[in-house]
Amino acid sequence: MLDWQHIKTIIDGADRILLTTHENPDGDGLGTATAMGSYLESIQKKDFKIIIPSDLPFEYSFLNQQQQIRRYNPNEDLPWLEFVDLVIIFDVGDFIRLRQLGKDIQSRGIPTMNIDHHPHPEDNPFTYNVVDTGAAATGEMIHEFFISTGITSLTLSMATGIYTAIMTDTGSFRYTNTTAKSHLAAIACMEAGVDTSRIYQQVYENNSRQRVTLLGHILSSLRYELDGEVAWFTIDSDLLKKAGAGPEDVDGFTDYVRSVRGVEVAIMFFGKPDGTCRINFRSKGRYTINQIAKSFGGGGHAFAAGAVVDTPLRETVTNVLKYVSENLPRQKANP
């Protein structure tokens, strides 16, 4: 059981707080950051900012109605960062996913609080670790923090962030990580006035034409391994250009490919313009894949994980598929 009162004491003692999440942010990291931002603004009256390492995805722009979320710009943000007392990092998985923002935080020795539901190594660099691997989403943890510290009812902004976080990380409450606690938190958000249909439409029914075109190219070139239990695809700069799409359009495709009948694990290989390769793994639940991601320097949940490697796309595909073919059969989840 997490000591939320102690965590509140640490937050109470900070005057200027930076809220952030990982690069290529998702609904859980952004939702929890905006929920905590609303708490700091309306209840704590703190000086805070939400600054993220990469661009805000369009489908989450509804969380930014007050323009409180911004991408990190050292020239503009370092003067403010110099006087930050505490950095609260949500859903990060690995400190390296903060990129340049993380480096600038570390170089200034600013205390960091890690609030997450991903497993972390014991030698992680955070000052305070608030981790619950049994939580379906970091947003679920933040709801628990609010309730445990005396918040009897959520503001609409807090509830919108929490609901977005839990909805996205549970796959709209259909993944195996969904629990009664997830639904109870969602009920509290609905009681606060959250428009659940609007949030779903904003996140999942807001695809650009370029993204749909890219999906078409991907589906027409799917490859299969291990008697069809593994499906994989690649994305490179040429394919993005052909579809008129950008790096922001690649998220979510692994979930779609995982839905193919007979496929247990879906893998995306994205050759990024900087020469690195991003790997996404998704499993239906028969096999755990976070250890496979960990072997390539990444991590994540048992059935949703990823990594970024320095090898080129083609080499990465060869290495990962060889490793998967040799090791996946030994990664069967407990019945």
Residue 24's pLDDT is 87
Q: How confident is the model at residue 163 (pLDDT cuts 50, 70, 90)?
A: very high
Q: Write out the H or E segment, with its range, that includes residue 313.
A: helix 313-327
- Mean pLDDT, range 272-281, rounded to an integer: 93
Least confident interval from 51-55, 300-304, 319-323: 300-304
Residue 5's pLDDT is 97
What is the pLDDT of the chain when averaged over all its residues? 95
pTM of the model: 0.91
Q: Using one digit for the tens of pLDDT, what is the confidence trace for 166-178?
A: 999 999 999 889 9
Residue 183's pLDDT is 98
Q: How confident is the model at residue 76 (pLDDT cuts 50, 70, 90)?
A: very high
The residue extents of the domains of the chain are 4-204, 209-330
CA-nearest of 95, 100, 99 to 116 is 95
Q: Using one digit for the tens of pLDDT, what is the confidence trace for 232-275?
A: 999 999 999 999 999 889 988 999 999 999 999 999 999 998 89
Q: Is the pLDDT of residue 335 over 80?
A: no
Q: Is the pLDDT of residue 94 over 90?
A: no
Amino acid at 94: D
Residue 122's pLDDT is 79
Q: Is the pLDDT of residue 179 over 70?
A: yes
- Mean pLDDT, range 110-121, rounded to an integer: 93
- 3-state secondary structure at position 52: strand
Read off the tokens for 185. Answer: 């938190």
Q: Is the pLDDT of residue 153 over 70?
A: yes
Q: Is the pLDDT of residue 83 over 70?
A: yes
Q: Look up tokens 């679920």; give the residue.
A: 140
- Mean pLDDT, range 145-150, rounded to an integer: 96
Strand ranges for 26-131 from DSSP E: 47-52, 69-71, 86-90, 112-116, 128-131
* CA atoms of 19 and 87, how far apart (whole Å): 6
Please list the alpha-helical segments (H only) found in 62-137. Answer: 74-81, 99-107
* CA atoms of 68 and 34, how far apart (whole Å): 8
CA-nearest of 298, 301, 297, 289 to 332 is 289
- Mean pLDDT, range 80-109, rounded to an integer: 95
The half-sphere exposure of 97 on its side-chain side, counting CA atoms within 13 A, is: 24
* CA atoms of 298 and 92, how far apart (whole Å): 12
- Mean pLDDT, range 225-238, rounded to an integer: 97
Residue 121's pLDDT is 80
Q: What is the CATH number of domain 209-330?
A: 3.10.310.30
* CA atoms of 266 and 263, how far apart (whole Å): 7
Cα–chain center distance at 16:
24
- Mean pLDDT, range 296-311, rounded to an integer: 90
Query: Tell me: domain 4-204, CATH 3.90.1640.10, correct?
Result: yes
